[in-house]
């Protein structure tokens, strides 16, 4: 931390050293090598396609070009898919500046969660940078909605998310969770939640060029009233936890941490990005600010479970 105007201000962070991994692209099915590398202060998160003459795509909300089954960003005809899980990990551990080098069209899916990316960052080590961390402070409520979903941001201390999902599946049904992202909550409560899909949709997805790399090794697969994965679920409510993980990653495309409260009902990648468009379209709804220690104070929250739907509240 550094002192500004008598207050403790959070410093920007990157990683100490480059680190590599390889994996399969969830939608392309292609094997992808990825390197995470340190970056200078105030440069943000940048993706570099090493297979396309080092073409660069910044991780920003206005670079989103597709939200079908993942979040894809692109610029000048160059795209990078499935960025949300990596971005969620970077948001969760507080990495501001990073270069992500890929020799393929999408971030590798790994085990379908953000936990492998948190592990990579921890192995590389975190380096503080002598520059204040910038945040987007929500100043007034902003909301978007569709036929069966809604999403909103409103002013609040710190960053918290409240999400409800409802699927026509007895395995998932209605689930809800409220989480405050402080004191390692992302790693403990959300990072291990895996992406999921339905067996009866696989053929159609692959015909559309999606989910070609999907398997029981990198996704929870639901068939009727059964989970097909041999080891079952990592959490009883793993589905809503993963949707929250997705929201954390999608919202990190704002260009920095958000100080405010997100609420969603059945929202996904498209709704999350539409919400950022609505936020930045209203100059009175947000402002850049430095992130202070007071913004990271935990909500007085605890786990609790509702009799129906399994709502959890986590924080601290």
Give every strand in the sheet of 220-223, ordered side by side.
196-198, 220-223, 226-227
Neighbour-count burial of 21, counting CB atoms closer than 10 A to its CB (0-12 exposed, 13-18 middle, 19+ buried): middle
Beta bridge partners of 258: 136
Active site residue 269: yes
Instruction: Give the whole-angstrom CA distance, residue 153 versus residue 144.
Output: 9
Half-sphere exposure of 149 (CA within 13 A, CB side): 16
Q: CA torsion 120→125→131→133, rounded to 10°?
A: 40
User: Measuring CA to CA, which residue among 225, 165, 232, 233 is closest to residue 200?
Assistant: 225
Catalytic residue chosen out of the listed positions 242, 269, 277, 302: 269
User: Mind giving me the DSSP string for 52-110?
Assistant: GTTEEEE--GGGEEE-SSS-EEEETTEEEB--HHHHHHHHHHT---EEEEESSSB---T
- Name the packing angle between helices 84-93 and 115-124 (round to 10°): 50
| Catalytic annotation, residues | 269
């Amino acid at each position: 931390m550094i002192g500004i105007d008598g207050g403790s201000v959070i410093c920007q962070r990157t990683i100490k050293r480059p680190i590599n991994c390889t994996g399969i692209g969830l939608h392309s099915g292609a094997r992808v090598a990825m390197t995470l590398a340190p970056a200078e202060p105030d440069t943000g998160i940048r993706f570099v396609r090493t297979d396309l003459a080092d073409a660069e795509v910044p991780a920003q909300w206005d670079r989103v070009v597709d939200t079908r089954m993942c979040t894809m960003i692109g610029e000048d005809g160059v795209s990078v898919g499935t960025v949300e899980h990596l971005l969620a990990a970077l948001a969760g551990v507080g990495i501001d500046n990073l270069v992500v080098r890929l020799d393929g069209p999408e971030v590798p899916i790994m085990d379908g969660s953000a936990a492998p990316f948190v592990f990579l960052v921890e192995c590389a080590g975190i380096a503080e940078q002598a520059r204040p961390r910038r945040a987007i402070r929500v100043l007034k409520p902003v909301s978007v909605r569709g036929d069966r979903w809604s999403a909103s941001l409103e002013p609040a201390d710190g960053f918290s998310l409240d999400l409800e999902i409802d699927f026509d599946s007895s395995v998932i049904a209605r689930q809800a969770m409220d989480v405050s992202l402080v004191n390692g909550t992302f790693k403990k409560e959300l990072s291990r939640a895996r992406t999921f899909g339905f067996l009866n949709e696989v053929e159609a997805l692959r015909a559309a060029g999606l989910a070609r790399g999907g398997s029981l090794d990198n996704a929870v697969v639901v068939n009727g009233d059964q989970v097909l994965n041999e080891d079952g679920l990592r959490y009883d409510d793993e589905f809503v936890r993963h949707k929250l993980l997705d929201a954390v990653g999608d919202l990190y495309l704002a260009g920095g941490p958000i100080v405010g409260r997100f609420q969603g009902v059945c929202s996904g990648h498209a709704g999350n990005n539409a919400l950022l468009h609505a936020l930045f379209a209203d100059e009175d709804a947000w402002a850049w600010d430095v992130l202070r220690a007071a913004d990271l104070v935990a909500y007085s929250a605890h786990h609790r479970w509702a009799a129906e739907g399994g709502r959890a509240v986590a924080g601290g």
